[in-house]
Amino acid sequence: MSYYHISLSSLLFQTHYSETPSWLDGQQQWSKQYPYCGGAFQSPIDIKSELLRFDPTLRPIEVQNYNLSPNEQLTLGNNGHSIQLSLPPKMHISSLPQRYTAAQLHLHWGSSSRPTGSEHLVNNKQYAAEVHVVHYNSDKYPSMATAVDKSDGLAVLGVLIEVGEFNPAFEQFLKFINGVKYRDQRVQVPGLNIRALLPARLDEYYRYDGSLTTPPCYPSVLWTVFRNHITISRKQFLALATSLYASHAQDSDPVPLNNNYRKTQLAESRVVLVSFKDGKGLHGTPTVTSPLTRKRIIQQLMVGDLADLADEGLYQLLPSGLEKLRAGEKKDFENQQSEALAKSKHQMQNPSLRKKTQTSLSVGKLGLAEDELCFVSLEQRVSHQLKQSHSEIQLAHTLKDAVFPELNLKSYLNCKSDLALPTIRHILRERPTDEAFELDHSLTKALTNQKKTSSAVKKSVPVTNSGGLSPVAVPRKPHIQGYPHSWLLPMEWED
């Protein structure tokens, strides 16, 4: 895994670093080449108190074979955007419904002048650094590369790092850092106790559905961010923040490797499950609605009396401020929604038109989506459809519209999201028009009232009638032999 894995990473980020030395400055351009970066369920997020839901069913994280023998050889490499340590496949998480096998760990950090470089924030607090231990679903997929674009493909353990006491476990690979000062350099290091890089308590954590934090940003990650941080000394942090370069050794203009974190993304309809209920700001944290209740709600949407459902106030399950208005929008909210309803009705009467912009929502007897989303094949299909209609610049927007309902449904059924309006509308397209219209009208009216009374929404972002992002230009990239899609460049699956 190690040498080949890191070489792939170098190919991916060559464009980003040659054109944009600053990691932070180049992020807004990601979606132009990787449309999922402008899509749904993106990571990292700011884990705020109002997003939290206590879930009493969350078990302590259990990891196996994390204490590696010094006789084992691991590869430490500099891939131009982080340092990465390869991990043997015997390491795995055993406490999730499926087995997730370890592949690698890497770090994100700030700089000597700004020691705040964690990707996840907690109530607006950014930590000095963050460790990610990346695993893939080995019960379903044979490799990381196969799993990375599946909606249930990856699980990442996130560990927040604060500057404080010296960390002997961290030092076990940090002492080799001078061997990987420049991009594409790698060294062999003896095995170490990876468990010692995690907090002492593995029973307290945040859980949500998210994405890779580097291109192609597939929303394929089950995130577990531990509540408790670990510490490294200031000397250790400075070694990390000042010793490395994103450029090659032969480059005449060295580019320092620091501040290599992605900015926080919108939570949208997502909630963050917590495995603990005590502590500051967590007293009275709402408990999640049971999965059984959520399945019944989905079943009622699919086969129940929609008029009765509208009267019962399904809208109470929707988050406040779900639909945000574009700054300076001239149309009022109700007119905007009326156009969306008209469009929805038109699509119901024209199934072929609907198929061009939406993926079908496959729901089983218990309300669970039957097939996992494969983001590469979906991107290929949508790209082909848009190419035919000469609307390729809409790729990021259309992919979000296609992906969001199914992701939201799965996440909702597992209690990690609220039930969003675009998902309800997606389900309603299969229902009788008059009943669906009545329920949709009830939801729209409720959301309009929520907007008038809510003070929670302080920012506005561009949205479409179906909740998608504004169109983003996506230039075609040349096809690379051996890879199934022109945007799927060789890479390490970093996050």
Any residues with CB less than 8 A from the CB of 338 and at least 6 apart, and which? none
Q: Are 329 and 465 in contact (CB under 8 A)?
A: no
Residue spans of beta strands (DSSP E) within 142-236: 154-163, 186-190, 205-210, 221-226, 230-232
Whole-number Å distance between alpha carbons of 340 and 354: 13
Whole-number Å distance between alpha carbons of 101 and 144: 9
Pairing between strand 221-226 and 154-163? parallel
H/E segment holding residue 424 = helix 421-428
Q: Are 369 and 410 in contact (CB under 8 A)?
A: yes
Whole-number Å distance between alpha carbons of 21 and 11: 15
Whole-number Å distance between alpha carbons of 400 and 420: 14
- Picking from 304, 336, 317, the residue whose alpha carbon sits closest to that of residue 413 is 317
Whole-number Å distance between alpha carbons of 103 and 86: 6
Q: So what's the pLDDT on residue 285?
A: 77
Q: Are 110 and 241 in contact (CB under 8 A)?
A: yes
Name the catalytic one among 5, 16, 81, 106.
81
Q: So what's the pLDDT on residue 386?
A: 85
- Picking from 195, 208, 212, 64, the residue whose alpha carbon sits closest to that of residue 147 is 212
Any residues with CB less than 8 A from the CB of 453 and at least 6 apart, and which? none
- Picking from 205, 198, 139, 130, the residue whose alpha carbon sits closest to that of residue 163 is 130
Residue 229 appears among annotated catalytic residues: no
Q: Are 143 and 275 in contact (CB under 8 A)?
A: no
The token pair that represents 400 in the structure block? 């979000």
Amino acid at 226: F
CATH topology of domain 2-274: Carbonic Anhydrase II (3.10.200)
Give how far the C-alpha of residue 376 lies from the chain's centroid of Cα atoms, to the nearest Å.
16
The token pair that represents 53 in the structure block? 């839901």
Whole-number Å distance between alpha carbons of 463 and 473: 16
The domain limits of the chain are 2-274, 291-453
Q: So what's the pLDDT on residue 370?
A: 53
Q: Are 395 and 246 in contact (CB under 8 A)?
A: no
Q: Are 219 and 41 in contact (CB under 8 A)?
A: yes
Whole-number Å distance between alpha carbons of 30 and 16: 9
Q: What is the pLDDT along the chain (495 residues), one digit of tens a residue?
A: 333 333 333 333 333 333 334 566 689 889 888 999 999 999 999 999 999 999 999 999 999 999 999 999 999 999 999 999 999 999 999 999 999 999 999 999 999 999 999 999 999 999 999 999 999 999 999 999 999 999 999 999 999 999 999 999 999 999 999 999 999 999 999 999 999 999 999 999 999 999 999 999 999 999 999 999 999 999 999 999 999 999 999 999 999 999 999 999 999 999 999 999 876 556 567 888 888 888 988 888 888 777 777 766 666 666 543 333 233 333 433 444 444 445 444 444 444 434 433 434 444 444 444 578 999 999 999 988 887 776 656 888 899 999 999 999 999 999 999 988 889 888 888 777 777 777 777 777 766 665 565 544 344 333 333 333 333 333 333 333 332 322 222 333 444
The token pair that represents 448 in the structure block? 């309009």
Whole-number Å distance between alpha carbons of 489 and 484: 9
Q: So what's the pLDDT on residue 282?
A: 61
DSSP annotation string for 305-347: -HHHHHHHTGGGGSPTT-SPPPTT--S-HHHHHHHHHHHHHHH
| Residue 302 exposed, middle or buried by CB count within 10 Å (0-12, 13-18, 19+) | middle
* Phi/psi of residue 340, nearest 5 degrees: -65, -40
Pairing between strand 230-232 and 154-163? parallel
The token pair that represents 312 in the structure block? 């019962």
Report DSSP state, residue 133: E
Q: 209: helix, coil or strand?
A: strand
Rg (CA), the chain: 23
- Picking from 52, 65, 146, 70, the residue whose alpha carbon sits closest to that of residue 102 is 65
